[in-house]
Structure formats: C-alpha cells, structure tokens
C-alpha cells in the first residue's frame, strides 16, 4: 500500500491522520484520515494538491495509471514528491472511483519505507505510470 500524501520531508517515525487532500468523491467535510492507494504511481498522482475542477484527472489506460494535466498547470508537477510504503493493516477500501484503489485509516501509521523523487512526473513515470498534458 502506498500513501497519497508525500509532498513533505519524509518522517519514517509515524504518520498521523489529517484533513488534507481527499479523493473527490469523499467531498468536503471528510474526517481526518490517512489515504492510501494500492500502487505507487496512483499514490504519486495524488501526492500533490490538485482539483478535478482545474482539469486534472487520474485514469487507468491498459491497466496503467495516467495523470491528465492541463497544459497551463504543468509547472505544478515540478515539485519534489515522497511516496511512503505502508502496511495495509488497518486500512479500509473506500467506495470511490476508480473502484478498488482508494483506502483510508483513522489510525496512526508507521511507514515501512519512503522513496524520494525530484518531481511528481518522475514519481509517476518511475512507477510505470504516465503523465499526459491536455
């Protein structure tokens, strides 16, 4: 399992539930939680602030993660990103789109490891996903 939120300096001691970026279908008012995805490219695509209202989207094409990015906002991908690997213990599957890829927990989590990437694009592409500008 891989955490969505990795845009801050890695701390392998403990991660705590927070109100931050949430899957779009969770809506506003979602409780404090730690959100995770089932593969690192998917987590990386969610590991920086974006909104579908801005034109961003994450889709699966031929079984691979594709982050769709408005051309005018491509500069937002030029930030470092950290993807945390965590045990799936204590995480529950959310009923969100795409089905089977969003999990959450309301408990503290101790990461197994953290991988640092120079940019969001590097994090996605090095984990077999891709970025497409629209």
Domain range summary for the chain, segments of one domain joined by +: 2-133
> 3-class DSSP state for residue 117?
strand
Q: Which of 7-16, 44-53, 121-130 has the highest mean pLDDT?
A: 121-130
Residue 1 has a pLDDT of 66
Contact yes or no for 54/95 (Cβ under 8 A): no
Flag whether pLDDT at 105 surpasses 80: yes
pTM of the entire structure?
0.83
Percent of the chain residues topping a pLDDT of 70: 81
Closest listed residue to residue 77, CA positions, set 129, 25, 16, 18: 129
């Amino acid at each position: 399992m891989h955490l969505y939120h990795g845009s801050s300096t890695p701390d392998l001691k403990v991660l705590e539930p927070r109100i931050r970026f949430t899957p779009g279908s969770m809506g506003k008012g979602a409780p404090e939680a730690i959100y995770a995805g089932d593969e690192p490219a998917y987590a990386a695509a969610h590991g920086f602030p974006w909104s579908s209202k801005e034109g961003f989207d994450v889709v699966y094409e031929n079984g691979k993660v594709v982050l769709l990015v408005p051309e005018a906002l491509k500069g937002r991908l030029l930030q470092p990103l950290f993807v945390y690997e965590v045990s799936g213990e204590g995480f529950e599957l959310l009923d969100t789109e795409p089905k089977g890829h969003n999990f959450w927990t309301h408990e503290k989590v101790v990461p197994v490891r953290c991988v640092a990437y120079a940019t969001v694009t590097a994090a996605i592409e090095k984990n077999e996903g891709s970025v497409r500008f629209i």
